Structures are given as C-alpha cells and as structure tokens.
A and B are shown apart, each in its own frame.
Chain A
Amino acid sequence: MQGLIDRLSALLSDGTVARVLGWKKGDMPYNPEPHMFETAESLKDFVYDGFCGANLSKMMIEASKLEGKTAVCLKPCDSYSFNQLIREHRVDRENAYIIGVGCRGKLDIDKARANGIKGIEEVSGTELDGPDSVSFKTIYGDKEMSYSDLLLGRCHVCKGKEHMIYDELWGESKDTADSERFDEVKALEAMSPAERFEFFKKELSKCIRCNACRNVCPACSCRKCAFDNNNFDSQQKANVDSFEEKMFHIIRAFHVAGRCTDCGECSRVCPEGIPLHLFNRKFIKDIDELYGEFQAGKDPEAQSPLTDYTFEDCEPGIVAERSNG
C-alpha cells in the first residue's frame, strides 16, 4: 500500500492531478470511507485493503466538474461503471486520472458477524498481498476466517481481473469467481411463479425505503429522480407492504436495464440485506439471450442493445413465447 501512497503523492506533487479520490482509514479496522485527498500530507490517512468495497466511479460525476484532474482508484469491476458513465456523458474522461488498483475480492463484515464474530478490535490479513485467511482480534477472543468466506456476494461471480479503462495500474488482481454468474438467476427461473413471488415478497417486505441502493448506483445518475417527485399521488415514501413498494425496485431495475454493469453496490449497501442485484442480473441474462452477449461498461463505444435497433432484434412477441415455454 505504501507504494500506492507514494505514487499518488507524486501525482499530487508534480501537479498531474489536483486531488485523489480514494479511501480514508476508518475508526474501526473495517470501515474506511470514500475520501477526496487534496494534499500529499493528507494521504497519511489513505488506505486500500479488503474493506474498500465502495465503487468510486459515481463520485467522479461531481469530481469531474472540479478544476483540474482527479486521480481515482478503480478496482477492475469499478472500471466498468466508469466506462458506462463515460458513455452516458456523466463523467469527463479528460478530467480523470485512473489508477487501476489490484483486487483480490472485497470483504463483507456482515459475513464475519454472521459467523459470530463480534467485539472486533483488530483485523489483519486484509491487505492486497495478504494471506488467505483473515484474523480477528475481538474482546470475546481471537477468530479466523478464510478470505474467500468473507467475500462480498458479487466477488463470487467476479467479472475478471482486467481493468476496462485506466491510466496506470497498481497491484495484482485475482479473478475470485467460484460460481457461475447466472446460477442465482437460474434458481429463480426454476421456481414456480408463486414461489418466486413469495421469495421477492419476503425479501422486499424488508425494504425501509432508505434509497441507499438508488443513491449508490452508478447507473442511477439522474439529477432528479422520478421517485423524488412530491406531486406523485402514490405512497412512494411509505414502506407499506403493497404493490407500490415493490414497484420502486422493479421500476428502478427497468430504468437501469442495459446500463447496469452488475457492480453489486445495491446489494452491498442495502441495510436489510435484500439481494437487489438479482433483478438487474435477470435483465442482463435476458439481454444476453435476446440480443447476444452484452456487458455494459466493457466498451464505451459499443452499441447498447436496448437503445440501438437492428433488423435482427427480437419481436415483442418473444415475451409471450418465453412465458409459454
């Protein structure tokens, strides 16, 4: 990590960039926060470890409006989001200096908690070149978990160790995929409609309407969200267990379809642990099947299946055919 700090510090000192968007050490061993570093001196608080899961791409929308370049640390999967934002003209490529940081998967502290780990004082083994197991020093005794058991759900279907866009790279990456990307979707498709409805009803009934999923989502970059319209004659702010509540997530999934890179931030931030990525991933699978394989954010120049028309496109009747099949 010191190598990275030194490099960022040099970029600041030689005037290549005016600021660095990275992560700042938290007050606990597992809660670093996204942070804008303006001086080389302030980089003493910079951190990059297994808990730096936050995707910084979206913060570049605001950062690219600032004077001078911003160096931003992007993990391989974050680089897809950044590319997609370039395509949507939401970030300015010229104002970004992208450090493609290595990644061996990011960690989910809730996985440790679910494993009974609490009263955490120290955590070690989370650095990029760290060991395969993570050690926890807690007031209730020392615990250990394997790095892979602590991974965020999204890392088990890692899109690969390649950065889609960068100015320079730092650190080794590892493809952490150990299950098929569409397995969870296939399991949903295998359910009867009633089972599937029950599944989503149960999950979505936990929604507290905090909007964290929307606000963190790099594809949700509208200046004013339709759901923030106070003149809606709907219960959009209430968490009533009704059709309206579910519509929020379904409408959002439709809105980001074809643009969602499957970065998994929605599921990472949900305070109720709702697997929101499943909606988006179902769309991705359908798009792949109907229009040919497509990965949003892979190539900012590529045609997007839902906004470009070709003679080969399927007819709307496909919906009926598929639901009968």
Chain B
Amino acid sequence: MYKISLDNINSLFAAIAESKELFLPVKKAGQANYANWTEDCEVALDSLKTVKSPKDAFFPQFETLYKVNRKIIPTDASEEEGSETLVETKLRTKLEITPTELKDKDFVVFGMKSCDVKGIEALDKVFLTDPVDNFYKARREHGIIVALACHEPEESCFCTVFGVDPADPSKAKADVATWIVDGELYWKAISEKGEELTKSVASLLSDAADDAADAEISNITNIMTKLPNTKLSLEGWGEGKTDEKFNSEVWNELYKPCLGCGTCTFVCPTCQCYDIKDYSTKDGIQRYRCWDSCMYSDFTLMAGGQNRTSQVQRFRQRFMHKLVYFPDRYGMYSCVGCGRCVDKCPQSLNVVKVIKAFENEKKEAGANV
C-alpha cells in the first residue's frame, strides 16, 4: 500500500498525464462528469456519482467508425454497349473506405467506483463476445482503471444487491484500488497494468500501512447496511424468468408516467444499445455510431410498423433486458445498482421501483390466497 496527500494530487495527475490520457471526474458548469484532465480543470474526486457513468471511456457516446469517399467517375467507354444518348449511364459510383484508427495509446480512468467497474464487465459481455467489437476491445486493452472506494455512499446506492463491494475496490476488476481517508489517497496496485502504472508514478508515492484503508472499508461496509435499497431482493428475476415476468399485469400500471426520454439509458453504466448512422460532410461521408435508447419511439420502428410500438412495451423491454434477458444470455444482471436512474429519472421511475412493484404484487397475491 502506498499513499499520496491530496494536497499533492495534482502532481500525480500531471505525472500520469505526461505519458497517458487521463480521464477522471471533472466539474463543468456545476455538474461532475468524466472528462480529460487538463491543468486548469476542476477535478471532482469527491463526487460520488458523476451524471453520466464513465462508460464513455470505453464506449463513447459518439464515435466515427469509418469515412467513405464517394467518387463519381466516367467508366471506360468500351465497356458500354455504345449509345451516346445515355451519357449519364456511363458515370459510376466508386467508394473508398477509411476506417478510424483503433485506440493505440494507454489511458487511465481515475476514480471509477466499484459499481461502474462492474458496469464495464457487463459491456465486456456484449462487445467482447464473438464477433468482437474491435473499437471497444482496443480501448479495453489500453485502458487502465484506477478504482476508488465510495466514501459516504448515498440512499440511491444499492450496488451490494448485485454483489458489488463499494468499500473495497481491490475486489473489482480494476488495475489499481484507492481510498481517500483524511486528506490522503491510499493506493494499491491489483493487476499487472496497475503495477506498471504504480512504477511510473512511484516517486510521488510513499509507503503506507493498511490500517487507514481497512478502517474505511469497514466504515463503508457498515454504512451500506443502513441504506434502504440495499435490502432489495432479486428473487424472481434472472435466468429463465421471461414468461413469468413478461406477461405480468404490473407493467401496464408501472410504465404510465414514463416520458419515453433517454435519461435512464444515457446515465446508465451498462446500457449499451446503439445506433449507426451516416453523416455527409464536405470531406465525405462519416459512418458514426452513437448511443441509442430502447425508450425512444423510433428505436425499433420499421416501415411495416413493427415492433414494440407502445411505451409500455419499450418500458418492459428495458427492465426485462436488464433483469432477465441479459442474465439469460450472459449469466449476469445488466444492472449494477449505481442508482443514477434513481437520482435522474424526470418522473422518479427507476429500476428499484420496478423491482419493488413486483415484490408488492407478490405480497398482495400472497395475502389474497
């Protein structure tokens, strides 16, 4: 275990940023979000939850996949069966594709909470399953995750329900685990990548005993038991529960206030639905990928009118995906209990309320028997 005083933390950031891009919570116009570190940025390591999750580091909200140059060229006249009246038929469209370079430089994501690290595990399941998404894979290979323990978790947190340990980031699939206690950042490498990063900033770190971090771990663990949503039960969710949950009447009530906006999906660390579109610029056509939301009315819409044409179907899809379909397919929930949707839904709907509504239904059904 090493440590560095928070007074000196900027020199740590500067040292990392010397050779690598550094992505960390930064406050801009009043809100903390992950952004690239610059000398004059307002680092917000004390923000428990950034508005958006750090998934942007590996799966950015917007990225260009490739560019296409389209050339209209006259073809060799001899190929044509000679009518001179149809001049335009001799013009042919030729294409040239230039893929975007894959990430090839190391970068550090600093201050990720254990829930968000778990969120990356869910993204891995999707993007690293055959056929592999190489844009994502390259970022995963070059990304170094410095995880930070959750000092003073809040009432919207329920990560422990999904097996996340917010107190001890060394249990997360990160590269370095850190804790902030009394003005000191405690630092422990937990992977090979983490060891290397530690070496590169070793001159700024001093040796430390484990007690401070240990005390913080037991402190956070204790707080978590007091938070209301950490008692949530996932009984009845998970693999093989499609029929039982899909056909429930509960959805028909629950979805009603839903605005069909994309807030929950865009702040979520595990939502990974995307759109692919073309954008014509003066230097050719950009094929880009951007986050999309299963809550949007045009998400699945086809010319023939299919499918999930009502908001209740879309609402059900989002939660069924997180709590049933994803476990079916990948063996883990696609919710990590970060609680961002709990904080941010404009209508105060969220995954916790969904789980509770089904619990209540069960209780009421039980009472009626």
Contact = CB atoms under 8 A, between A and B. Distances in A.
B21 interface: no
A271 B348 contact: no
B223 A273 contact: no
Given A210-B266, A211-B261, A215-B259, A238 B61 contact: yes
Nearest to A34: B257
Contacts of A215: 259-261, 346
Identify which of A34, A120, A233, A237 gathers the most chain B CB atoms within 10 Å of its CB: A237
B62 A235 contact: yes
Identify which of B28, B30, B223, B278 gathers the most chain A CB atoms within 10 Å of its CB: B30
A243 B247 CA distance: 45
Interface residues of B, number: 52
B177 interface: no
A95 to B, nearest CB: 17
Interface stretch (B92-100, B140-148, B192-200, B290-298): B290-298
A121 B28 CA distance: 29
A31 B296 CA distance: 23
Contacts of A32: 348
Interface in B297-352: 297-298, 342, 344, 346-349, 352
Nearest to B277: A237
Identify which of A119, A121, A216 gathers the most chain B CB atoms within 10 Å of its CB: A119
A267 to B, nearest CB: 11
B243 to A, nearest CB: 27
Interface string A70-84: 000000000000000
B360 to A, nearest CB: 10
**Interface class of chain A by DSSP:** loop
B218 interface: no
A239 B291 CA distance: 9
B227 A238 contact: no
A237 B293 CA distance: 10
B356 interface: yes
A35 interface: yes
B6 interface: no
Interface string A234-246: 1101111000000
A26 interface: yes
Contact of A208 (B152, B228, B259, B266): B266
A10 interface: no
B262 interface: yes
A99 interface: no
A255 interface: no
Contacts of A230: 298
B356 A27 contact: yes
B275 interface: yes
Contacts of A120: 154-155
A65 to B, nearest CB: 14
B280 interface: yes
Contact of B297 (A228, A269, A274): A228
A209 interface: yes
Identify which of B227, B267, B288, B347 gathers the most chain A CB atoms within 10 Å of its CB: B347
A273 B30 contact: yes
Interface in B244-280: 256-257, 259-263, 265-267, 275, 277-280
Given A239-B62, A272-B31, A139 B223 contact: yes
Chain A interface size range: 35 or more
B279 A216 contact: no
B61 A208 contact: yes
A216 B290 contact: no
Interface string B221-242: 0010011110000000000000
A26 B346 CA distance: 13
Interface in B73-122: none
A273 B29 contact: yes
Contact of A119 (B152, B346, B348): B152
Contact of A210 (B263, B280, B297): B263
**Smallest CB-CB A-B distances: 8 pairs:** A269-B346, A31-B348, A238-B62, A212-B261, A238-B290, A215-B259, A210-B262, A34-B257
B65 interface: no
Given A210-B266, A239-B290, A273-B30, A26 B348 contact: yes
Interface in B143-168: 152-156
A276 interface: no
Nearest to B292: A237
B344 A271 contact: yes
Interface in A189-232: 202-203, 205-206, 208-212, 214-216, 228, 230
B178 interface: no
Contact of B288 (A36, A238, A274): A238
Nearest to A29: B155
Contacts of B223: 119, 139
Contacts of A240: 62
A2 B154 CA distance: 31
A212 B152 contact: no
Given A120-B154, A273-B31, 19 more contacts: A33-B348, A34-B257, A35-B257, A118-B152, A119-B153, A119-B223, A140-B152, A208-B52, A208-B263, A209-B262, A212-B262, A215-B260, A233-B278, A234-B279, A238-B61, A238-B288, A239-B290, A272-B31, A273-B30
Interface string A257-277: 000000000001101111000
A272 B340 CA distance: 12
A262 to B, nearest CB: 18
A34 B33 CA distance: 29
B348 A235 contact: no
A233 to B, nearest CB: 5
A314 interface: no
A134 interface: no
B51 interface: yes
A246 B227 CA distance: 39
Given A27-B353, A273-B29, A119 B279 contact: no
